[in-house]
Amino acid sequence: DAKTTQPPSMDCAEGRAANLPCNHSTISGNEYVYWYRQIHSQGPQYIIHGLKNNETNEMASLIITEDRKSSTLILPHATLRDTAVYYCIVGGGANNLFFGTGTRLTVIP
Amino acid sequence: DAGVIQSPRHEVTEMGQEVTLRCKPISGHNSLFWYRQTMMRGLELLIYFNNNVPIDDSGMPEDRFSAKMPNASFSTLKIQPSEPRDSAVYFCASGSGRPDTQYFGPGTRLTVL
């Protein structure tokens, strides 16, 4: 079921930008890229999603390559509270969110 | 908005007992999802409802698991009889629209002894 590939872990210094990569080379034309995160002992939290264009909201920016085979989630100024597991998910429907193993981001003081 | 509400937050029971987990989705959302999370298997979708109707229950492990959504504001996930391997955190999520973004509750941590 895995449609995405993410590094298992990353570190980022507090205050710096965190850039989390995701490969989704088999993405189909009508599938979106979603990012969620899960802070320890909490339920997953929606961050952002996109189809073709780059997207930005109050939490993060999503950069999708022109061929749509990869994307990067950017947390512009990481804080300690951003330490979490980040899931990159590709899907096009309600039952199509396969969470995988994600990237464990640790923000270092 | 209070978000997705789940109860109980923690449940400890003995093998063979019936367990009922409850979920109140966000008002106005028309999709509801039940997930299970374990260290070994990660986050797995068990079942999802759209407009109170079960659409896909292929993730339900076996007949011991059942889920209902009698109205738009309430859903239950029942395990009868429970087994130690059912120990996990069970999440409920709700969503609306396309593309679907899902909003998760805090989860119920189930321990079956």
> Would you call B72 exposed, middle or buried from its count of C-beta atoms within 10 A (0-12, 13-18, 19+)?
middle
Helix (H, G, I), strand (E, B) or coil at A95: coil
For residue A76, give the nearest of A20, A11, A17, A13 by alpha carbon: A17
Task: Choose from B43, B45, B55, B89 for mutation: most chain A CBs within 10 A.
Answer: B43
- Looking at residue B98, its pLDDT comes to 60
- Report the range of poorest mean pLDDT among A11-15, A62-66, A98-102: A98-102
Per-residue pLDDT in tens (0 to 9) along chain B, 113 residues: 689 999 999 999 999 999 999 999 999 999 999 999 999 988 999 999 999 999 888 889 889 999 999 999 999 999 999 999 999 999 999 988 666 689 999 999 999 99
Residue in A42, A45, A94 closest to B31 by CB: A94
Q: Do B50 and A93 touch (CB under 8 A)?
A: no
| Contact criterion met (CB below 8 Å) for A100 and A5 | no
CA distances from A51 to A3, A72, A90 (A): 15, 13, 10
Q: Please give the DSSP secondary-structure letter assigned to residue A81.
A: G
Predicted local distance difference test score (pLDDT) of residue A10: 97
Instruction: Show residues of chain A in contact with B45, CB under 8 Å.
Output: 95, 97-98
Please name the residue of chain A whose CA is at the shortest distance from the CA of residue B105. Answer: A43
* B56 alpha-carbon distance from chain centroid: 13
Q: Do B42 and A99 touch (CB under 8 A)?
A: yes
Angle at A90 between CA A85 and CA A91, to 5 degrees: 125
- The string of pLDDT tens digits covering residues A61-70 is 999 999 999 9
How many angstroms separate the CA atoms of B28 and B37, rounded? 26
**Torsions phi, psi of B13, nearest 5?**
-145, 170
Please count the CA atoms within 13 angstroms of the CA of B85 that sit on its side-chain side.
6
- Six-digit token string for B12: 């400890």
**B100: nearest CB among A43, A44, A94:** A94
Contact criterion met (CB < 8 Å) for B104 and A43: yes
Cβ–Cβ below 8 Å for A44 and B105: no
pLDDT tens figures, B97-111: 666 689 999 999 999
Q: In this predicted structure, what is the pLDDT of residue A2?
A: 58
**A65: which residues sit within 8 A by CB, 6+ positions away?**
A71
